[in-house]
Amino acid sequence: MVDKDAFDRNRGAAPGTARRRPTRKGHGDDVRLAQIPFSALKAEVPPDLRALLVDLDEGHALIPGLRMGIGALPVQRWDPAYAASGWTLYGADLTLDQGHPFGSMFYRNDADDRVLRVGVKWHPPVQRLEFPALHPSRPELTSDCSEEEVAAVVLDARSRIGTLVAVNAQIGSFVATEESENAILDAAGLGLERLSEDDPRLTGHDSTRPSEPDGGGADG
């Protein structure tokens, strides 16, 4: 159930949108409430349920329409701090080729309307995504942008694609069962024995484990 004050503050908002609410202890100053549409629920909606809300920290978005679980998941949004100053992303032709982003992103210079196309492709020999700065319409590298401009626009493109990959991976992890998680790890060459956190074989190995990133996951 959702408290009446929270429901009233969010009344009239479209599902998936968010409104700021008073900060709770332990949260940042920009925690908001986002409404999950009842259509996202897989089970029958209780008759006394007026609204279903979720806490969203600043910089996060709600992804509805998932086919498993509660049907929606908060994810980290793209950080506009990586936007290329003086350039605007105005188009993109992207797809996933066996899970790897592939295509082109088109940027226009705000001052003189020059167009820079950034390719997005997986390069198997070095096992990484590459972002060549290309001519707008020909299969060749750009020739009318400085190295500084290219670096700024490519960083912009990398940051957006990085967010796309992370969101897709987070959703995949969210909807995966233990069986499918094991299959995913095996397909990625990580089909090792999975140990519980209290397994005695992990004793003395904590110092070698990377620190956990700040912020919580879907479980809060």
pLDDT string in tens for the chain (220-residue length): 233 344 344 444 444 444 444 444 344 445 577 776 656 565 666 777 777 777 887 888 777 776 666 678 889 999 999 999 999 999 999 999 988 999 999 999 999 999 999 999 999 999 999 999 999 999 999 999 999 999 999 999 999 999 999 999 998 888 887 878 888 888 889 888 888 888 888 876 654 555 555 544 434 3
Q: Tell me how far apart the alpha carbons of residues 18 and 188 are, in angstroms, rounded to a whole number.
A: 36
- Count CA atoms closer than 13 A to 116's CA, side-chain side: 28
Q: Tell me which amino acid residue 3 is.
A: D
**For residues 54 and 83, is the Cβ–Cβ distance under 8 A?**
no
58-62's contacts with Cβ under 8 Å and 24+ in sequence apart are: 58/28, 58/29, 58/30, 58/31, 58/32, 62/16, 62/18, 62/34, 62/36
Q: What are 47-86's pLDDT values in tens digits?
A: 777 777 778 878 887 777 766 666 788 899 999 999 999 9
| Distances, alpha carbon 138 to alpha carbons 7, 117, 129, 130, in Å | 54, 10, 21, 18
Residues 6+ apart with CB under 8 A from 56: 18, 31, 32, 33, 34, 62, 74
Helical (H) or strand (E) element with 93? strand 87-97
pTM summary value: 0.68
Residue 64's SS3 state is strand
